[in-house]
Amino acid sequence: MRYLTSGESHGPQLTAIIEGLPAGLPLLSDDINIELARRQKGHGRGRRMQIEKDTVQITGGVRHGYTLGSPVALVVENNDWKHWTKIMGQEPIAPEEEDEIKRKITRPRPGHADLNGALKYGHRDMRNVLERSSARETTVRVAAGAVAKKLLAELGINIASHVIEIGGIKSAVREYETLEKLKEISEDSPVRCIDPNAAEQMMKAIDDAKEQGDSIGGIVEVIVEGMPPGVGSYVHYDRKLDSKLASGIMSINAFKGVEIGIGFEAASKPGSEVHDEIAWSEEQGYYRKTNRLGGLEGGMSTGMPIVVRGVMKPIPTLYKPLQSVDIETKEPFAASIERSDSCAVPAAAVVAENVVAWELAAAIVNQYYSDRFETLKEIIDQQRAFARDF
């Protein structure tokens, strides 16, 4: 199972084509639109979120509410395209109109893909880079993830996310009654934090950063319950599930770190405080007494909740710009401003949630027979029963 995305930040639309979904999976545009709306929320987001109200069109691969087994095509139109038709149009423009229409960018912004992308492809106009490297592309990544979440939910696998740190302010609440309760509290919080006291401090930190022309980052956590044991591989390095999850998290714009379970904390602890003791009961079958390794051992799922965290750096475009160099004149300058978010960590939690969902769904589909969804569901139920009775 795989997908490909296409489209630019201010182009006419963003597109994703998903290949490898089983036939017979129930899928509606509303399943995806819920996730797209979640991505646009969060304290600290800029004006773009008021301009774009993202909704998806399913333009292929689904008939009467069920997948066909053929590639599924998803389209999200950019509502702001009407203001960019000349600047981002596909048709050639006359040489004398270039300066007026193109709004050429020759000044790379620190922390962005501008300069590296220009060096890679030879673009003298770095708008060709920043339009695609923009986090706007995560819109259709969330759309693809929403399809994966639907598949997981139908298999009895549930997923949630929350913010555990913004700008150095850490959530003191890490325990939760149920995953559904965590979802409920997180969704009600403007910063997706389940600690109300920390949430208030986080919002103030975001407001302070914006007032100072600065930005702040943070840490998000994704939790998954219901994964059957044995998904992934200890045999092949490139099929290890923890590797896939780490790769997925690190592929999100502005993410600079990832950990699973207690993660880097394991480096300072003895093995007796890191590894999870195994137990068995007639009701549960095999389980771990703790979950320090985050539901993954030997590159495979254990059946315990999967816990993944990602670190998002502060957004690099600032209202007190950093210094850079114009690629045409080689003169120093203060970097330009292309967006106005002071913090996108709450939205990044939703992106991370959907990215993790994709990696888990893909691992299941790639490991088990998956031409027909009803058969895949039976196989997963059989795997759970086999593991319980083994």
Write the DSSP string, 200-260. Answer: HHHHHHHHHHHHTT----EEEEEEEE-PPTT-B-SS-GGG-HHHHHHHHHHTSTTEEEEEE
- Rounded-to-integer distance, Cα 372 and Cα 366, Å: 13
Q: What is the dihedral of CA 74, 363, 244, 130, to 10 degrees?
A: -10
DSSP 267: G
Q: How many domains does the chain have?
A: 1
Q: What are phi and psi of 386, to 5 degrees?
A: -60, -45
Asked if 65 contacts 27 with a C-beta cutoff of 8 angstroms, the reply is yes
Asked if 75 contacts 62 with a C-beta cutoff of 8 angstroms, the reply is no
- Rounded-to-integer distance, Cα 129 and Cα 83, Å: 19
The pLDDT tens digits of the residues spanning 340-352 come to 688 999 999 999 9
The predicted pLDDT at position 50 comes to 58
Asked if 149 contacts 155 with a C-beta cutoff of 8 angstroms, the reply is no
The predicted pLDDT at position 340 comes to 64
The encoded tokens of residue 388 equal 């319980």
Amino acid at 176: Y
Q: Which stretches in the chain have pLDDT values below 50?
A: none
The predicted pLDDT at position 101 comes to 81
Asked if 220 contacts 161 with a C-beta cutoff of 8 angstroms, the reply is yes
- Rounded-to-integer distance, Cα 187 and Cα 197, Å: 16
Q: What is the dihedral of CA 220, 226, 38, 55, to 10 degrees?
A: 140
Domain span at residue 242? 2-389
Q: What are phi and psi of 2, to 5 degrees?
A: -155, 165
- Rounded-to-integer distance, Cα 268 and Cα 265, Å: 6
CATH at 254: 3.60.150.10
